[in-house]
């Protein structure tokens, strides 16, 4: 199976300069290649292909020493990334949608360089006798890695990512051996909720950690302060940059804590259960922003509905969290030889587990009280039990 590992890099000051230059050159390449495609299309409706651009790379490297010092393969990978973005764009145009044309990448929007295969302009664990792990990158040197764990499998691709002022390496590994756990004879249904993080079919409630709300509030406050001080369109000053960097730092801290929580919870659930049933998330509906309401007094303008916008944002944060948790759960289950079952969650919170009656009125806040048979339960636990039953039916049908 496949798996990826992420480690913090500990570059020297000189290596940081080289890493920044490497990123800047790859970004320049991306933007130049994008410009070429745009202009060729605008002037004569000619499509420039990846193959053509890859061929030009040799000429670029001949005349530009600053580009020639980096790995040829990582530059090709950057061109392929643009190619993917273009293909996705044309696919959506064909499907009748109106996507935005791929954009030029500003400094803050280009943070990753990919080396498509180990030992091609890069090398994982380049100095095995040094006592600690180093990553070799062509043009940059041997960078120390804070390897807090052992990796497994064979390293396929190596990516280097900048997050704020920190640098990370991400190893995508293949042929990672699975670690099958002995069966426990237990099964569970998981309902992801808003008031609690999740409810299990056996009645367990998994609460959002206590720090959750605090960290989110801290982020909201910092974001509000930032947008009040530096409204859109105000000049980019040193203070503004520092303020937005600070905001991003808080955001990354929160994301790290959430990731850790998701990993630990998923590990426990996978250890304890042979079969895990959860609902299917509506990914397409998740990323779509709510449609703004037109202003009845001023035609052509829209109401600034702050409460709705905030609720929508909170919803998107929640959705993103759930998607991340389920991705981790699925990967851990696969690694442990456990079965995950995805069921359609339609009506699972409105259906009575006892008698099967579907009635939205049965649900009153956090309690479920069946309007037909009087069955009472925690609303999310009732839903989790419905999910589990649906999942078990699904397995038997196969
Ligand atoms: Zn009932």
Report pLDDT digits (tens) over 334-348.
999 999 999 988 889
363 pLDDT exceeds 70? Answer: yes
Give the Å distance between the CA of 350 and the centre of ligand 1: 10
Q: Which residue do the tokens 């309401």 mark?
A: 293
What pLDDT score does 313 carry? 61
Give the Å distance between the CA of 375 and the centre of ligand 1: 5
Give the Å distance between the CA of 5 and the centre of ligand 1: 47
284 pLDDT exceeds 60? Answer: no
Give the Å distance between the CA of 326 and the centre of ligand 1: 30
Q: Six-digit token pair at 66?
A: 């600053």
How many CA atoms within 13 Å lie on the side-chain side of 96?
0
Mean pLDDT of 6-32: 97
Q: At what angle do helices 306-336 and 238-272 cross, to 10 degrees?
A: 40
Length of the chain: 398
Angle at 158 between CA 180 and CA 102, to 5 degrees: 110
What pLDDT score does 46 carry? 83
What pLDDT score does 100 carry? 87
Q: What confidence category does residue 312 fall into, taking pLDDT thresholds of 50, 70 and 90?
A: low
Give the Å distance between the CA of 348 and the centre of ligand 1: 13
Give the Å distance between the CA of 369 and the centre of ligand 1: 8
What pLDDT score does 215 carry? 86
What pLDDT score does 321 carry? 84
Most confidently modeled range among 58-67, 230-239, 286-295, 308-317: 58-67
> What is the DSSP secondary structure assignment for residue 360, as one 8-state letter?
G
Give the Å distance between the CA of 376 and the centre of ligand 1: 8
Give the Å distance between the CA of 125 and the centre of ligand 1: 61
Percent of the chain exceeding pLDDT 90 equals 70
Give the Å distance between the CA of 109 and the centre of ligand 1: 52
33 pLDDT exceeds 90? Answer: yes
Q: What confidence category does residue 8 fall into, taking pLDDT thresholds of 50, 70 and 90?
A: very high
Cα separation of 386 and 392, whole Å? 10
Give the Å distance between the CA of 349 and the centre of ligand 1: 12
What pLDDT score does 365 carry? 84
Cα separation of 144 and 127, whole Å? 10
Give the Å distance between the CA of 347 and the centre of ligand 1: 14
Residues, beta carbon < 5 Å, ion ligand 1: 352, 354-355, 357, 370, 372-373, 375
Q: Residue 36, exposed/middle/buried by CB under 10 A (0-12, 13-18, 19+)?
A: middle
Q: What confidence category does residue 364 fall into, taking pLDDT thresholds of 50, 70 and 90?
A: confident
Per DSSP, the three-state class of 94 is helix
Q: What confidence category does residue 302 fall into, taking pLDDT thresholds of 50, 70 and 90?
A: low
47 pLDDT exceeds 90? Answer: no
């Amino acid at each position: 199976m496949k798996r990826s590992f992420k480690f913090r890099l500990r570059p020297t000051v000189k290596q940081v300069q080289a890493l920044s230059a490497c990123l800047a050159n790859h970004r320049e390449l991306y933007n130049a290649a994008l410009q070429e495609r745009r202009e060729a299309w605008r002037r004569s409706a000619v499509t420039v292909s990846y193959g053509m651009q890859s061929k030009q790379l040799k000429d670029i490297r001949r005349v530009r020493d600053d580009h020639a010092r980096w790995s040829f393969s990582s530059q090709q990978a950057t061109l392929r990334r643009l190619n993917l973005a273009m293909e996705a764009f044309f696919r959506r145009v064909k499907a009748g949608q109106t996507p935005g044309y791929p954009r030029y990448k500003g400094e803050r929007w280009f943070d990753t360089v990919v080396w498509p295969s180990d030992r091609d302009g890069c090398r994982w664990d380049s100095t095995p006798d040094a006592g600690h792990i180093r990553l070799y990158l062509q043009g940059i040197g041997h960078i120390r890695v804070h390897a807090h764990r052992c990796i497994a499998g064979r390293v396929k691709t190596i990516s280097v990512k900048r997050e704020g002022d920190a640098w990370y390496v991400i190893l995508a590994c293949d042929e990672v051996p699975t670690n099958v756990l002995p069966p426990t004879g237990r099964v569970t249904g998981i309902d992801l909720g808003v008031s609690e993080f999740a409810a299990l079919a056996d009645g367990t409630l998994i609460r959002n950690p206590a720090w959750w709300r605090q960290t989110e509030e801290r982020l909201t406050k910092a974001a509000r302060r930032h947008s009040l001080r530096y409204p859109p369109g105000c000049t980019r000053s040193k203070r503004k940059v520092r303020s937005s960097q600070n905001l991003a730092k808080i955001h990354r801290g929160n994301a790290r804590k959430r990731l850790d929580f998701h990993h630990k919870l998923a590990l426990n659930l996978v250890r304890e259960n042979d079969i895990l049933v959860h609902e299917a998330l509506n990914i397409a509906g998740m990323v779509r922003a709510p449609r703004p309401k037109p202003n009845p007094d001023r035609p052509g303008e829209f109401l600034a509905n702050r409460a709705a916008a905030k609720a929508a944002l909170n919803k998107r944060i929640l959705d993103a969290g759930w998607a991340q948790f389920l991705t981790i759960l699925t990967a851990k289950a696969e690694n442990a030889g456990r079965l995950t079952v995805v069921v359609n969650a339609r009506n699972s919170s409105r259906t009575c587990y006892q008698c099967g009656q579907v009635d939205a009125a049965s649900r009153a806040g956090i309690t479920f009280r069946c309007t037909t048979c009087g069955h009472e339960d925690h609303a999310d636990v009732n839903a989790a039990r419905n999910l589990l039953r649906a999942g078990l039916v699904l397995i038997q049908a196969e």
